Amino acid sequence: MQAPPLTWAMNLRVRIGPEQPLGVCAEGQRGNYPILGGEFFAEELQGRVLPGGADLYLERGDGVGVLSARYTLQADDGTLLNVLNDGYLVMTAAGRAAAMAGTWPLPELEYQCRCSPRFQVGLGEHADWGTRVFIGTVTYPCVDEVHIDVFHIAP
């Protein structure tokens, strides 16, 4: 069996606020990162990331970060797309040590962050965004911004 090919779908540039720490929970260390805005670009639509929502981040006991972000996109044509994006942030030993010492963002060589975004969209011109399967790569170019490159898994 051959693996399905990936096709570029979207780039997201999401501005985030400072961590709102919840503290240690049963699952690990939790902190919320509010979504402040941003922009997105896709082949057939583009627009802005609406303020609101958050990444409800969890750092597990084994040092793996679990992303769980919920926010809304508004396309230039007015279409709203809810984003439900879950993923994992895995750091090298050096990356973990640097993060624990307060360094952020880390050089991209010190971590790997992958996600599986889902989109909720009303019936209409862009309804297919709610029926496709996506994966993404996440990078952190600065302390208050997240870049997500989203790819569609072709049928």
Residue % of the chain over a pLDDT of 70: 100
What average pLDDT score do residues 129-145 get? 97
CATH number of the domain enclosing 101? 2.40.160.20
**3-state percent breakdown (helix, strand, coil) of the chain, nearest 5:** 10, 60, 30
Query: What pTM was computed for the model?
Result: 0.95
Return left, alpha or beta for 37; rule: phi > 0 is left, psi -120 to 50 is alpha, else beta.
left
User: In this structure, is residue 1 part of a structural domain?
Assistant: no
| Element at 9 (helix H, strand E) | strand 6-16
User: In this structure, is residue 115 part of a structural domain?
Assistant: yes
Across the chain, mean pLDDT equals: 96
User: In this structure, is residue 89 part of a structural domain?
Assistant: yes
Tally the domains of the chain.
1
pLDDT of residue 148: 98
Lookup: tokens for 129: 């965004």
Residue-wise pLDDT for 29-78, tens only, equals 999 999 999 999 998 899 999 999 999 999 999 999 999 999 999 999 99
Range(s) of the domain holding residue 69: 6-153
User: In this structure, is residue 141 part of a structural domain?
Assistant: yes
User: In this structure, is residue 95 part of a structural domain?
Assistant: yes
Q: Residue 155 pLDDT > 80, yes or no?
A: no
